Structure 1
């Protein structure tokens, strides 16, 4: 096989696959139905033309029949008047007219036969087209339902393009949030350690943070010591958080009465 033939086969295969991917079977069915309807229209046009030609021959035959009868009357009238020459002329013309009528009758019979055959073809074609139309609509409905079911299944399974894009976007958003949270925690830690300076904070705010941290640790130690002493004495002070409004005293130390 030559390179040209091989390339031609590859191109034909790829083109066929692309067409299979892009072609909507519903559109193909509609196109096929439209072609059949156009064919039926052409058959009916031919049927109308044949019927017109047959009618024209019938009218011409009727004219010839009227002339044929008139020639017979003229021949009889000529004989009645003793004009055999005129009678002979009328009969000669009548004889020629018989040959013309025979030809016309043959044409009329052929047209009738063609019309009958074409009418039968038109009837069968119309029946096939109607059956195809019903099957076409059924197949289109089946394809539409199957397509909707496939898309629903893809969405449910998360394998559709939209779901894949949504999942990728969600993962990227999660990664960015985690990175930003880690960055915020790291910068907070660096600011707390004094490695970074908060340019928006008041002057000497780092000293305030360190003193506040030291006061918190001292307060925790005092509370721990008080809990130890209360445990040794067998009685403990009421929890500031107890009661409906106990939360108002949280952080204010023990309530004295």
Structure 2
């Protein structure tokens, strides 16, 4: 059951990652939109500069025509004062023609002035929109990045959880194997001790020697019990007839039938 759950989690994480990879990254989309707006703002500012240049050129031309207009008026007055009505008439005719040209120039200047005001208003409005869009763009990007990091973190935690489950299962299997191996070791020890399982590494006839050693050990225990009984009788006689020096008793350990 745990292995199935782990596989399901792995499949789910894989599908989730693929789905996220296929999704359009909104951060790139927002940056592209911001760049396009900035380019548009640059175009508006460039157009505004061109209109301002044209308006300045018309303004300079208007000043030149205005100066000529005033000069023609002075020439007509001077010609009339000198009795040259024909020159005065020619100056006034040129002045009238120039006046029409100046009126046309004034219309162009007024049109450029209106266009300048409109472009300036658009430039201010677009600048404010771009500034607001930039703030919102960075906020959305930061939020998306944080959410993306949270998704990755959640996937990592889910992976750790699945790993912990797998580790728990591995530990449980390891405990079972250890218990089985311990039981098997104890069983083989008993079989070796009883001789039912032959130890291939032991010396030849080791089983006979082992049984003889066990018999010898049993015989030694019987002998020590018999010696203890005799010591009880000897101790009773010693209490009535005399005692042996207790300081020399250690010399008799293992030397005679009373070595118990």
Q: Give the structure-1-normalised TM-score.
A: 0.59
Q: 2:104 matched to 1:113? A: no
- Separation in structure 1 between the aligned mates of residue 158 and residue 222 of structure 2, nearest angstrom: 60
Change (3 A) 1:43 1:220: farther
- Separation in structure 1 between the aligned mates of residue 72 and residue 212 of structure 2, nearest angstrom: 147
- Separation in structure 1 between the aligned mates of residue 137 and residue 159 of structure 2, nearest angstrom: 32
- Separation in structure 2 between the aligned mates of residue 102 and residue 232 of structure 1, nearest angstrom: 151
Q: 2:80 matched to 1:74? A: no
Unaligned runs of 5+ in 2: 1-17, 178-198, 226-260
RMSD between aligned residues: 3.8
Counterpart in the other structure of 1:93: 94
Aligned length: 178
Q: 2:59 matched to 1:58? A: yes
- Separation in structure 2 between the aligned mates of residue 89 and residue 120 of structure 1, nearest angstrom: 46
Kindly indicate whether structure 1 or structure 2 has the higher relative contact order, using CA contacts under 8 Å at least 6 residues apart: 2
More helix per residue: 1 or 2?
Answer: 2
Query: Cα offset for 1:215?
Result: 4.1
Query: Cα offset for 1:225?
Result: 8.1
- Separation in structure 1 between the aligned mates of residue 219 and residue 106 of structure 2, nearest angstrom: 134
Counterpart in the other structure of 1:25: 26
Query: Cα offset for 1:118?
Result: 1.0
Deviations 1:29-63 (A, max 9, x none): 10010001001111111111111111111011000
Counterpart in the other structure of 1:200: none
Equivalent of 1:211, from 194, 197, 202? 202
- Separation in structure 2 between the aligned mates of residue 30 and residue 76 of structure 1, nearest angstrom: 69
Query: Cα offset for 1:80?
Result: 2.1
Q: How does 1:1-257 map to 2 (within 5 A)?
A: 21-158=22-159, 209-212=200-203, 215=206, 222=213, 226=217
- Separation in structure 2 between the aligned mates of residue 45 and residue 149 of structure 1, nearest angstrom: 44
- Separation in structure 1 between the aligned mates of residue 96 and residue 26 of structure 2, nearest angstrom: 66
Q: Give the structure-2-normalised TM-score.
A: 0.58
Unaligned runs of 5+ in 1: 1-16, 179-207, 235-257
Query: Cα offset for 1:131?
Result: 0.4
Deviations 1:54-95 (A, max 9, x none): 111101100000100110111111112211110110000001
Structure number with larger C-alpha Rg: 2
